[in-house]
Amino acid sequence: MEIGYTAKRTLVPTLMEWAGKTRLKKHLVPDSIFCMWLGDYGLQIHLSNLSSEYQHKHIIPNFKHYCALFIRQIIPVLKSWCTKNNIHNIEMVIRFSCQEEKLATTIILNVPKDNKEGREYLENKST
């Protein structure tokens, strides 16, 4: 399914809001671009824009594992974003970069029209 222009513009702010509510917030380099939309391609996550200490402790020792955990953490956010934007099937590439390391992975989300999990996430987020 093609993602509409409005939905594309809301995904990055949604992910940044999520990051601002996690431990990542205190490790983000000020005024840096942590995630961005790459046209019709997907998301780019710049892990290099996290503090050097965080990178050396959590990311660099096992880059692929960290990326897999990161995706697991954002799946509920992506599903609730899909629910909010009336998107039921989406395939996107998520590209990670940290220093010289790069990884791209494709995710496919099938979100039912009656996505109780997505609605509950949105309701809990607003409280």
Count of beta carbons in the 10 Å neighbourhood of residue 21: 9
Residue 126 pLDDT grade (very low, low, confident, very high; cuts 50, 70, 90): very low
Q: Is the pTM of this model over 0.85?
A: no
CA 18 to chain centre: 8
**Does the pLDDT of residue 74 top 50, yes or no?**
yes
| The residue type at 126 | S
**Does the pLDDT of residue 60 top 80, yes or no?**
yes
Q: What is the DSSP string of 71-109?
A: HHHHHHHHHHHHHHTT--EEEEEEEEEETTEEEEEEEEE
Q: How many domains does the chain have?
A: 1
Contact 105, 94 (CB under 8 A): yes
- The tens digit of pLDDT for each residue in 8-21 reads 789 999 999 999 99
**Does the pLDDT of residue 2 top 50, yes or no?**
yes
CA-to-CA distance for 62 and 106, rounded, in angstroms? 19
Range(s) of the domain holding residue 52: 5-125
What local confidence, expressed as pLDDT, does residue 19 receive? Answer: 93
